[in-house]
């Protein structure tokens, strides 16, 4: 078999210049999946037939001289909470088992038009609620770097698929860190674009005001390439931003000369010492290539986790109410309609989903709304104000992505609070609606990867990718 490039950009070039065929590329990745995914369990479903047919269409188009898109022949894994027409979409929940959406999410349509080839639907914490992928109804995904450890979550399947070479790139969704945290734990690049940059149409909602789709990749360039393709205004999503998408691949090569990098002096504590050390080295590395470090404060950040665990469950309690057994998915029969709702939802949802539905229902209840949900919205405003002040002084802010490296199975799954703390550094960005990315930067305990997180203001993807690109280059030079 021909030599298959490791990156999406390399594959697209090789396919378009006919060095390899899209079919060879997809067969290669289906082979790797067959060999490795038994151990990893990154995929809920491998869509071999669909992938082979798509690759063949690309090859035929190239043979006939027709124009193909910028991702021609690039295999991509899709988190199993994005709707794919005629292909099961489960959210790793029993309640949606067997459901086949009658329509494609906008990102699926866009990727297809760009020539990307979906190879499968990846595992996640049920309805994207979790930080370890242990909450999947179909069993956990294992970290390819140490299969006794979690890959992070909730997009653990998509992170692991890229880390293990099952696909060069993948899509995840990030509500409180669900792309960045598993990217950090699996040693790959993960990007959460600005809220509204990428259409949410067809992304099964967890918390609508926080959810955002973004890519996993092995390189910052690939992450930029995928972001450029999937970003852009979508009239089907009212919260989609009608702004053109700048060239992010160019930004990633631009360097950071003269940029102001924010260091948060009142960052909530809790990061492992090695993680803190890598962050300090990242500042030094950026300074050495021409950036300036400026101190900023984000005093409301310590309230972010609490606010998030009111807002996200509140929205989830409403978003997940539609799984009632009436129209699709699982139904557990009972004496009357109300009993059927209860029985279906009791059998269909896992513990973490139930916990958040109850939290959210309570937070929105008459008599409690002001004390909980209302107050959380005020905190959200304060956090945005904090960021606005910080970005008046700095172009980007650097933080750890995850306080810890990949942890063993069972370490946190029975203690929700310790699991929730995994997202302490990622949640604030979601509350503000800003973009952020995680870039691998050295290793921590047990030689496991550490991610450094680059945060930028709304629509600040160019600045974010400039710094991301520089961090990647500095990490490679170490």
Cα 336 from Cα 463, distance rounded (Å): 57
Q: Which residues are catalytic?
A: 79, 154, 178
What character string, x for contact with another protein (CB under 8 A) and - otherwise, covers 101-140?
A: xxx-x-----------------------------------
Query: What is the nearest approach in angstroms of another protein to the Cβ of residue 203?
Result: 6
Would you say 95 or 390 has its CB closer to another protein? 95
Contacting residue, 98, 139, 236, 388, with another protein by CB under 8 A:
236
**Residue 305's closest CA among 359, 380, 369?**
380
Strands of the sheet containing 212-217, edge to edge, are 43-46, 117-122, 75-79, 169-174, 212-217, 189-192, 436-443, 449-455, 396-400, 260-264, 292-296
- The DSSP secondary-structure symbol of 4 reads P
Q: Measure Cα distances from 259 to 70, 283, 296, 325 in Å.
A: 30, 12, 15, 53
Cα 276 from Cα 144, distance rounded (Å): 24
Query: What is the nearest approach in angstroms of another protein to the Cβ of residue 474?
Result: 38
Helices (H) and strands (E) in the chain, counts: 16, 11
Token pair of 60, please? 């035929």
What character string, x for contact with another protein (CB under 8 A) and - otherwise, covers 10-39?
A: ------------------------------
Chain positions 248 to 307 lying near another protein, rule: CB under 8 A, are: none
> Could you give the maximum distance between any two Cα atoms of the chain, in Å?
70
Would you say 21 or 89 has its CB closer to another protein? 89
Would you say 220 or 357 has its CB closer to another protein? 357
Contacting residue, 243, 257, 337, 393, with another protein by CB under 8 A:
337
Would you say 327 or 478 has its CB closer to another protein? 327
Contacting residue, 17, 265, 333, 338, with another protein by CB under 8 A:
338
Query: What is the nearest approach in angstroms of another protein to the Cβ of residue 438?
Result: 25
Contacting residue, 9, 72, 129, 364, with another protein by CB under 8 A:
364
Q: Is 407 in the site for another protein (CB under 8 A)?
A: no
Long-range contacts of 53-59 (CB under 8 A, 24+ apart): 54/22, 54/26, 54/112, 54/117, 54/118, 55/21, 55/22, 55/23, 55/25, 55/26, 55/117, 56/22, 56/23, 58/15, 58/22, 58/115, 58/117, 59/21, 59/22, 59/23
Contacting residue, 82, 230, 464, 471, with another protein by CB under 8 A:
82
Q: Is 318 in the site for another protein (CB under 8 A)?
A: yes
Q: Is 332 in the site for another protein (CB under 8 A)?
A: no
**Residue 422's closest CA among 440, 403, 409?**
403
**Mind giving me the DSSP string for 331-398?**
----SSHHHHHHHHHHHHS-HHHHHHHHHHHHHHSTTTTIIIIIHHHHHHHHHHHHHHHHHHH-SEEE
Grouping H, G, I as helix, E, B as strand and the rest as coil, residue 431 is helix
Contacting residue, 23, 47, 317, 430, with another protein by CB under 8 A:
317
**Residue 403's closest CA among 207, 180, 223, 194?**
180
Cα 75 from Cα 25, distance rounded (Å): 8
Query: What is the nearest approach in angstroms of another protein to the Cβ of residue 341?
Result: 6
Would you say 220 or 364 has its CB closer to another protein? 364
Chain positions 139 to 158 lying near another protein, rule: CB under 8 A, are: none
Q: Is 97 in the site for another protein (CB under 8 A)?
A: no
Grouping H, G, I as helix, E, B as strand and the rest as coil, residue 406 is coil
Query: What is the nearest approach in angstroms of another protein to the Cβ of residue 70?
Result: 25
Q: Sign of the C-alpha dihedral, residues 280, 284, 286, 292?
A: positive
What character string, x for contact with another protein (CB under 8 A) and - otherwise, covers 365-404?
A: xx--x---x-------------------------------
Q: Sign of the C-alpha dihedral, residues 462, 181, 169, 145?
A: positive
Contacting residue, 67, 244, 265, 327, with another protein by CB under 8 A:
327
For 249, phi then psi, to 5°, come to -65, -40
Contacting residue, 147, 306, 361, 384, with another protein by CB under 8 A:
361
Contacting residue, 19, 237, 266, 281, with another protein by CB under 8 A:
237
Would you say 313 or 442 has its CB closer to another protein? 313
- The DSSP secondary-structure symbol of 176 reads S
For residue 216, list its beta bridge partners.
170, 190
Total residues contacting another protein (rule CB under 8 A)? 44
Would you say 49 or 370 has its CB closer to another protein? 370
Would you say 107 or 179 has its CB closer to another protein? 107
Query: What is the nearest approach in angstroms of another protein to the Cβ of residue 380?
Result: 12
* Contact set with another protein (CB under 8 A): 82-83, 89, 91, 96, 99, 101-103, 105, 200-205, 207-209, 235-239, 314-315, 317-318, 321-322, 324, 326-328, 336-338, 341, 361, 364-366, 369, 373
């Amino acid at each position: 078999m021909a030599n298959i490039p490791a990156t999406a950009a390399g594959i697209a070039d090789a396919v378009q210049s006919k060095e390899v065929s899209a079919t060879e590329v997809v067969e290669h990745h289906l082979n790797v999946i067959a060999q490795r995914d038994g151990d990893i369990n990154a995929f809920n479903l491998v869509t071999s037939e669909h992938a082979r047919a798509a690759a063949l269409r690309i090859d035929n188009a190239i043979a006939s001289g027709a124009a193909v898109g910028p991702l021609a022949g690039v295999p991509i894994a899709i988190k199993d909470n994005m709707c794919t027409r005629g292909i099961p979409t489960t959210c790793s929940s029993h309640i949606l088992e067997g459901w086949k959406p009658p329509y494609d999410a906008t990102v699926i349509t866009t990727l297809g038009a760009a020539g990307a080839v979906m190879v499968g639907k990846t595992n996640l914490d049920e309805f994207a609620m979790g930080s370890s992928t242990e909450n999947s109804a179909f069993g956990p995904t294992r970290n390819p770097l140490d299969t006794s450890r979690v890959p992070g979550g909730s997009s653990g399947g998509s992170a692991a698929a890229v880390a293990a070479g099952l696909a060069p790139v993948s899509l995840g969704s990030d509500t409180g860190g669900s792309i960045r945290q598993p990217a950090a734990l699996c040693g790959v690049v993960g990007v959460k674009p600005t809220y509204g940059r990428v259409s949410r149409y067809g992304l099964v909602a967890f918390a609508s005001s926080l959810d955002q789709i973004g890519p996993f990749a092995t390189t910052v360039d690939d992450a930029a390439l995928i972001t450029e393709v999937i970003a852009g205004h979508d009239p089907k999503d009212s919260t989609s931003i009608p702004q053109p998408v700048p060239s992010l691949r160019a930004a990633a090569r631009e360097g950071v000369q003269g940029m102001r990098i924010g260091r948060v002096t009142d960052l909530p504590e809790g990061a492992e010492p090695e993680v803190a050390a890598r962050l300090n080295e990242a500042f030094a590395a950026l300074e050495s290539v021409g950036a300036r470090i400026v101190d900023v404060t984000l005093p409301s950040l310590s309230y972010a986790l609490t606010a998030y665990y009111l807002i996200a469950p509140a929205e989830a309690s409403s978003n997940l109410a539609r799984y009632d057994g009436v129209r699709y998915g699982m139904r557990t029969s009972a004496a009357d309609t109300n009993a059927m709702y209860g029985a279906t939802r009791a059998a269909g949802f896992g513990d973490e989903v139930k916990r958040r539905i109850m939290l959210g229902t309570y937070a929105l209840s008459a008599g409690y709304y002001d004390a909980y949900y209302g107050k959380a919205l005020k905190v959200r405003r304060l956090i945005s104000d904090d960021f606005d002040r910080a970005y008046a002084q700095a172009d980007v802010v650097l933080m750890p992505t995850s306080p810890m490296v990949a942890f063993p199975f069972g370490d946190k799954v029975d203690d929700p609070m310790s699991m929730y703390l995994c997202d302490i550094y990622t949640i604030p960005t979601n509350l503000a609606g800003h973009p952020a990315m995680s870039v691998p930067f050295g290793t921590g305990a047990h030689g496991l990867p550490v991610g450094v997180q680059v945060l930028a203001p709304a629509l600040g993807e160019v600045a974010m990718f400039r710094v991301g690109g520089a961090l990647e280059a500095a990490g490679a030079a170490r």
